[in-house]
Amino acid sequence: MMAQTFRTPQIDLTSILSAQTPEIDLRLGAYEASTRNFLKAIGDYTNRAVTEINRRRNNYIAEKKKLSDRVQSVEAETNQCKVDEIGLLASLEKEQEETKEAESSVAVFRRQLTSVRETFASLDTEIEHYRAVTNSLRREKGRERGILDKLSSQEIPELQASVDAIGCTIEGVGRDQLLFQFHNVNPADLRQQFTFVLDMSGNTYRALSSSPQLLTLPILVDELNDTKDIYTFVKNLRQSFLRSIS
C-alpha cells in the first residue's frame, strides 16, 4: 500500500498575525509519520525482494553442486572403464586360447560403454535444463529490478521532501552503495561537506567511509541493522556530525 503523501496545511496568515502570540503549526509530527511509513514500506519491499533472490540463488547453487557431483561420478566411472579396457587388452594378448571368453568380456565392456554414453546424453539434457532455469532466473531478476525502478520513480516527490527536511542528499555511488551528503551542518562554514557511504550488498548494512570520521559510527550502524529504520539513522548521523564540530 502506498504511503499517504504529506500535504502542507493551509495557513490563515491574517488570523495568525492578529493573535497576541503568533504561532504557525507546521504539523511536523504528521510529516515525520508520513516519512517513516514511506521508508518502512520501501524497506519491507526491499527485504522481501532480497530474501526471494537469495532463496533462488541458494537453490541454483545447490542444483549446480548436485550436477557437479554427478559429472564427477561419471568421470570416475569412465576412468574405471578405461582401466578395465587396458586390463582386458593385456588379458587378450596373454590368453589367445581363451578367445571366446575374451570376446564375451569385450561384449560386456561394449555394453558398459553404451551405458556410459547414455549417461552422458542424459547429463547433457539436464545441463540444458539448468541453463534454461538460469536464464529464467536472470529474466525474473531483471523484471523485479524494473518493478523497483518504477516504484522508485513514483516515490521521488516524497523522497525529495524527506531530503529537504533533513538537509541531506542521497545517491548511488556503486553497486548496492549509497552516498549521504549533509549540507548546512556547520553554522560557521555552511559549505563544509559531511559525507557517509553505506554498503547494502550483504545481509547487514556496513559503513564504508565517513568524512569527518565519527567515533559513534559503529554504534549507529548496529542500531540501523537492529531497527532497519533508515530515517532515524540519517537523523542520528546528522546529529553526530554536528556534535563532532562542537
Q: Is residue 132 part of a domain?
A: yes
Give DSSP secondary structure letters for 150-184: HHHHHTHHHHHHHHHHHTEEEEEEETTEEEEEE-S
Q: Is residue 28 part of a domain?
A: no
Contact status, residue 3 vs residue 9, Cβ threshold 8 Å: no
Q: How many CB atoms lie within 10 A of CB 23?
A: 6
Q: How many domains does the chain contain in total?
A: 2
**What are the per-10-residue average pLDDT scores of the chain (246 residues)?**
54 71 71 84 89 90 88 87 83 80 83 87 86 83 64 53 71 88 86 90 90 91 92 90 85
* 162 and 184, same domain (yes or no): no
Peptide bond into 218 cis (omega under 30): no
Sign of the Cα pseudo-torsion (77, 82, 83, 89, in order): positive
CATH number at residue 199: 3.30.457.50
Residue 222, pLDDT score: 95
Contact status, residue 94 vs residue 66, Cβ threshold 8 Å: no
* 131 and 153, same domain (yes or no): yes
Domain that holds residue 174: 167-245
Q: Is residue 153 part of a domain?
A: yes
* 174 and 146, same domain (yes or no): no
Q: Is residue 100 part of a domain?
A: no
* 131 and 150, same domain (yes or no): yes
- Quick check: helix, strand or coil at residue 11? coil
What's the CA gap between 170 and 184, in Å, rounded?
A: 15
* 222 and 171, same domain (yes or no): yes
Residue 226, pLDDT score: 94
Residue 1, pLDDT score: 47
* 157 and 220, same domain (yes or no): no
pLDDT digits (tens, 9 = 90+) for 166-224: 678 888 887 889 999 998 888 888 888 899 999 988 889 999 999 899 989 999 999 99
Residue 155, pLDDT score: 45
